[in-house]
Amino acid sequence: MSELRALYQEVILDHNKHPNNFRKIENADREAEGYNPFCGDHYTLFLKLNEEVIEDISFIGSGCAISKASASVMTTVLKGKTKEEAGRLFETFHTLVTGHLNGSMDELGKLAVFSGVSEFPARVKCATLAWHTMQNALKSKEAKTTVTTE
Amino acid sequence: MLFDVERVRKDFPILNQRVHGNPLVYLDNAATSQKPRVVLEAMKRYYETVNSNVHRGVHYLSEQATADYEHARTKVQRFINAPHVHEVVFVRGTTEGINLVAQSYGRKNVEKGDEVLISGLEHHSNIVPWQILCDEKGARLRIVPINDSGEIVLEEYEKLLNNKTKIVSLGHVSNALGTVNPIKRMIATAHRFGIPVLIDGAQGVPHMKVDVQDLNADFYVFSGHKMFGPTGIGILYGKTEFLDAMPPFQGGGDMIKSVTFEKTVYNDLPYKFEAGTPNIEGAIGMGAAIDYLHEFDWNSVSAYEADLLSYATDSVSVVKKLRLVGTAAEKAGVLSFVIDGVHPHDVGTILDREGIAIRTGHHCAQPVMQRFGVPATARASFAFYNMKSEVDTLVKALYKVNEVFG
C-alpha cells in the first residue's frame, strides 16, 4: 500500500478532482492534442505566448488521475516560464518519473509529488503525456499539433 | 461429474506464484489464457525430439514432424466437428484468419456498391480488415446496432440484410462485454438471403463446445492462445465450396503444386492457404490444448463458469460507484465495469498491487466504448481455473480503489 500511497498522493488526487487551468484559451497561439491510444487519455493543451515567455497555459480533456494531475501541475508550474525553462523542467521531470534523477529534488518544487511514478513503469506515459504535448506545441511551427504516445 | 477447480489449477504452473507479495489472481483471460503443463511439454518434446520442416524431407524427422503437424489438424477438425480435415487452415490467429477471408473471399466477391455487415460489438480485428476491403472496393461497411445491455438488435440485423450484402461477419462472444450472440439464428437468417457468414470465435471456443456444422457457419475463426494453447497459431475453418473458390492469400512455398515463371499451379486445400514454413510447434501445442480440453465434461465446465460469473456479477455490484458495462442476458466469461470518478487505469494499477491482473482500456473495441459513452472500462475475464475466492479478492481490492480515491 505504501507504494500506492506514494503514487496516489493527496496532492495528486486533489489535482485530479479539481484540476488547475482546466479551461480553453480563446485565441491561443498554440493548440496541441495529446493522445495515448493505449489507455485513451486525451487532452488538448492551449498556450498563449509572449515572445519566449509562456504567458498563459491551460488544458481540457479526460484521462486517468496521473495524467490529469500531471497536466494540472504542469500548467501551474509553467505559467510565466520561458520556453527554454519549460524544456529544462520537462527533462528534469522525465528523469524523476523514470527513476533516473541524480541529485536533489529542489528545483522540482511542486513536481516532486510525482516521484512515486517511477515505481510504476506502466504509468510513466500517463505522467508525461501533457509534457510531451507541451513540448510538441512549443517546438512546432504549426499552431495546431497532435502527439500520440505508445 | 463435479468440476474440481483445485485439481485443474495444478495443471497450470504459472498460477502458483505471488505478484507484489500477493497470490496471483489472473483475471485477464480474454486477452490470453494460461497454458497447462501438457501444452508446454508437447512443445518442448517437439523441439527436443522431432524438430524438422514439414511436407518436405524424406528423412525420418521430417516425416515425424509432418505427421504430428497433420495430427494436430485432425484434432482441430474433431474439436469443432468440421466435416473435412482439409477445411481446417492453420493461420497465425483470429486476426490473420479474418484478414485472409477479407482479402481472398472479399476481394473476389465484393464490388463497388456492395455491402459488408458486421455488428457494433466487434473487436477491431473484425472491423478494420473489412474497412480496408470496403475502402479499396468502394463498398459500404454496415453496422448492426446494439442495445443498452450490449446485445445485438436482431430486428435491425434482419432489416440490414439485402441483396447487396456480400458477407456477414460476427463475433461469437464479445471480448469487451462478454455478450454471447445468437449466432446460430443469425447465420440461418443470413442464409435465407444467400449470404455467407464468418464467425469470430476467439472468445467462443474457450467457453463453450463449438460445432461448426450445427451452427452452419461458413467460416469460423479462432486463436490458440485464448483456449489454453500457444500464441501465434490459430484456425480458419471454411466450408469447402468457399475455400475452393477462393484465390490464395499469400504466395510462397508449400502452397504450390508446380511453379514456372509462366504459371504456378496452386496446392490443394488446406495448403493453398498455408504459404511458408508454418508454426509447427504452435499447431502441436494447440493440439495438446485440445486433448487437454477433451478431458473435461463440458456441461460441468459451463455450469461452473456460469456460476462463477453470476457470483462475480453479484459480488461486484455491492461496490460503491461501480457500474457494469454490458448486462446481456447471455454472457460468458467477462465483467466489464467502470467506477465513477476513477479512471480504469487507476483501478488497474491498484488491483495490480494486490496481485490481480485485469485489463483496462478500450479492449480493441473502441466503437463499443463509444456506444456506452466511456473512454475505457476495467475488465475482469474468467477461465475455468478461476475461483470464487479470487472474486472475493477482486472485490476487496475494489473497496481499496474507493478508499484511495475517497
pLDDT in tens, B225-279: 999 999 999 999 999 999 999 999 999 988 888 998 999 999 999 999 999 999 9
Weakest-pLDDT range from A102-116, B42-56, B153-167, B318-332: A102-116
Contacts of A32 (CB under 8 A, 6+ apart): A44, A45, A47, A133, A134, A136, A137, A140, A144, A145, A146, A147
Put residue B355 in one of left, alpha, beta given phi > 0 → left and psi -120 to 50 → alpha: left
Give the C-alpha separation, B205 to B173, whole Å: 9
DSSP B344-403: HHHHHHHHHHTTEE-EEE-TT-HHHHHHTT-S-EEEEE--TT--HHHHHHHHHHHHHHHH
Query: Does A1 contact B at CB distance below 8 Å?
Result: yes
Q: What is the pLDDT of residue A147?
A: 76
Query: Domain ranges in chain A?
Result: 2-148
Q: Across residues B174-183, what is the average pLDDT?
A: 97
Residue B92 in any domain: the answer is: yes
Q: Is the pLDDT of residue A1 over 60?
A: no
Strand pairing category for B234-238 and B88-91:
antiparallel
Domain limit, last residue, from B236, B266, B294: B294
pLDDT, tens digit (0-9, with 9 covering 90-100), for B296-344: 999 999 999 999 999 999 999 999 999 999 999 999 999 999 999 999 9
* Residue B197: pLDDT over 70: yes
Residue-wise pLDDT for B359-379, tens only, equals 998 888 999 999 999 989 999
Same domain as B207, residue B134: yes
* Residue B38 placed within a domain: no
Q: Is the pLDDT of residue B2 over 80?
A: no
Contact yes or no for A38 and B353 at CB 8 A: no
Q: How far is A135 from chain B (nearest CA, A)?
A: 24
Annotation says B364 is catalytic: yes
CB proximity A4 to B under 8 Å? yes
Confidence of residue A102 (pLDDT cuts 50, 70, 90): confident
How many domains, in total, are found in chain B?
A: 2
Q: Are A11 and A102 in contact (CB under 8 A)?
A: no
Q: Kindly report the CATH number assigned to the domain that includes residue B10.
A: 3.90.1150.10
Q: Among the three residues B261, B276, B294, which one is the final residue of a domain in this structure?
A: B294
As beta bridge partners, residue A34 has A43, A147
**Helix and strand tally (H, E) in chain A?**
5, 4
Length of chain A: 150
Nearest to A40 among B341, B353, B375 (CB): B375
Helices (H), B94-147: 94-101, 107-109, 128-137
Domain assignment present for B203: yes
Indicate left, alpha or beta for B178 from its phi (over 0: left) and psi (-120 to 50: alpha): left
Q: What angle do CA B339, B345, B351 make, to 5 degrees?
A: 80
User: What does R_g of chain A's alpha carbons equal in angstroms?
Assistant: 14
Task: Render pLDDT for A24-70 as a digit per residue (tens, 0 to 9).
Answer: 999 999 999 999 887 778 999 999 999 999 999 999 999 999 999 99
Asked if B376's CB is within 8 angstroms of A4's CB, the reply is no
**What is the C-alpha to C-alpha distance for residues B259 and B265, in angstroms, rounded to an integer?**
6
Is position B34 within any domain?
A: no
pLDDT of residue A119: 92
Q: Which residues contact A91 (CB under 8 A, 6 or more apart)?
A: none
Q: Say if residues B76 and B286 touch (Cβ distance below 8 Å).
A: yes
**Could you tell me if residue B40 is inside a domain?**
no
What pLDDT score was predicted for residue A40? 78
Same domain, B92 and B210: yes
User: Which of B353, B369, B406 has its CB closest to that of A4?
Assistant: B353
Domain of residue B60, residue span: 52-294
The residue out of B276, B294, B312 marking a domain boundary is B294
Do B116 and B82 share a domain, yes or no?
A: yes
Query: What is the radius of gyration, based on Cα positions, of chain B?
Result: 22
Q: Quick one: B182 exposed, middle or buried, by C-beta within 10 A (0-12, 13-18, 19+)?
A: middle
Same structural domain for residues B202 and B342? Answer: no
Q: How far is CA A118 from CA A41, A113, B242, B320, B369, in A?
A: 19, 11, 54, 30, 30
Q: B218 vs A135, B164, B315, CA distance in Å? A: 52, 18, 39
Task: Look at residue B93 and tell me whether its pLDDT is greater than 80.
Answer: yes
Asked if residue B268 and residue B234 are part of one domain, the reply reads yes
Sequence-distant (≥ 6) Cβ neighbours of residue B139 within 8 angstroms: B110, B111, B112, B113, B114, B115, B116, B133, B166
Average pLDDT over residues A109-125: 92
Examine the domain organization and report whether B13 and B87 are in the same domain.
no
B306 assigned to some structural domain: yes
Average the pLDDT over B385-401 and give the result: 98
Q: Within the 101-120 window of chain A, which residues sit less than 8 Å (CB to CB) from chain B?
A: 120
Contact residues on chain B for A4, CB-CB shorter than 8 A: 349-350, 353, 404
Set of chain B residues whose Cβ sits within 8 Å of the Cβ of A64: 343-346
* C-beta of residue B119 within 8 angstroms of C-beta of residue B170: yes
> What is the average pLDDT across A64-90?
96
Residue B39, in any domain of the structure? no
Mutation for A interface: B20, B28, B124, B343, most A CBs within 10 A: B343
Exposed/middle/buried for residue A2 (C-beta within 10 Å: 0-12, 13-18, 19+): exposed
Does B255 lie in the same domain as B156?
yes
Report CB contact under 8 Å: B349, A40.
no
Work out the angle between the directed axes of helices A83-97 and A65-78 (0-180°, nearest 10). 150
Name which of B26-35, B103-112, B144-153, B261-270 the model is least confident about.
Answer: B261-270
Could you tell me which of B185, B159, B157, B182 has the C-alpha nearest to residue B171? Answer: B182
> Among all residues of chain B, which has the CA nearest to that of A62?
B375
- The predicted pLDDT at position B254 comes to 86
Same domain for B337 and B281: no
Q: Are residues B209 and B109 in the same domain?
A: yes
Half-sphere exposure of B319 (CA within 13 A, CB side): 27
- Annotated active-site residue in B364, B369, B380, B394: B364
CATH of domain A2-148: 3.90.1010.10
Query: What sign has the CA pseudo-torsion B59, B62, B65, B69?
Result: negative
- Cβ neighbours of residue B1 under 8 Å, at least 6 residues apart? B297, B300
Angle (CA) B217 B221 B227, round 5°: 120
Please tell me which of the candidates A13, A38, A42 has its beta carbon nearest to residue B361: A38
Question: What does the pLDDT average to over B66-84?
Answer: 98
Same domain, B143 and B243: yes
pLDDT at A5: 87
* Residue B1 pLDDT exceeds 70: no
Q: How far apart are CA A4 and CA B338, in angstroms?
A: 20
How high is the pLDDT of residue B181? 98
**H or E stretch including A138?**
helix A124-139
Q: How many CB atoms lie within 10 A of CB A61?
A: 21
**Do B162 and B252 have their domain in common?**
yes
What pairs with residue A44 in β-bridges?
A33, A60
SS3 state at B264:
strand
So what's the pLDDT on residue A106? 76
Chain mean position to CA B391:
23
Asked, for residue B45, whether it belongs to a domain, the answer is no
Task: Using the predicted structure, report yes or no on whether residue B392 has a pLDDT greater than 90.
Answer: yes
| B101 and B18 part of one domain | no
